[in-house]
Amino acid sequence: MKTGAADGAVAAMRASFNSKNVGSMASEAKKMLASAKSGGFMVSEEAAQPIIDVLTEMTDRVDRLSHELSFVSSQAPTLGSHDYGQRVAEHQYEAFWGGDGSAVQVLKQLRNVLEDASNALNIAKKKYQESEAGATNTFGGRI
């Protein structure tokens, strides 16, 4: 990935996945996880597995993008030693690594959202299976 392409990817990601939006998604994913842990919802394997598969694929994509971004951003752009070139290089560094709202931070937050959602569905799926097993035992297999 070339630096120009990486800059474009960062700009696009910032437009749609800013820290506020991902923070909101993280909050909802945490609520979903807490609800699943408390038995607030259950889901069959048939309903959950396709979603879990997509979440896993998205997590893999985020991991690949994080790796590519780390590689590209670890090299300072060669923009010359003049003041403007140095300021642009500094701006690029901040866009990639500059704390809240930076591409690296947003990707980390997004990965956590995907993990929490996947964990919630796995827990809800397990609770559904336990519920079905309990019902089968209660009714002696007559359901």
pLDDT at 29: 92
pLDDT at 50: 96
Structural domain harbouring 47: 3-138
Does 31 reside within a domain?
Answer: yes
pLDDT at 1: 41
Does 64 reside within a domain?
Answer: yes
Does 109 reside within a domain?
Answer: yes
Does 92 reside within a domain?
Answer: yes
Q: What DSSP string runs through 69-129?
A: HHHHHTS-----SSHHHHHHHHHHHHHHHSSTTSHHHHHHHHHHHHHHHHHHHHHHHHHHH
Q: CA–CA separation, 107 vs 69, rounded Å?
A: 10
* Residuewise pLDDT in 10s, the chain (143 residues): 444 555 555 555 555 666 778 888 889 999 999 999 999 999 999 999 999 999 999 999 999 999 988 887 777 777 788 888 888 888 887 777 777 778 888 889 999 999 999 999 999 999 999 998 877 777 665 55
Does 112 reside within a domain?
Answer: yes
Number of domains the chain is built from: 1
Give the residue from 66, 53, 69, 61 showing the smallest Cα distance to 117.
53
Angle between helices 103-138 and 83-97 (to 10 degrees): 10
Contact 51, 121 (CB under 8 A): yes
Does 143 reside within a domain?
Answer: no
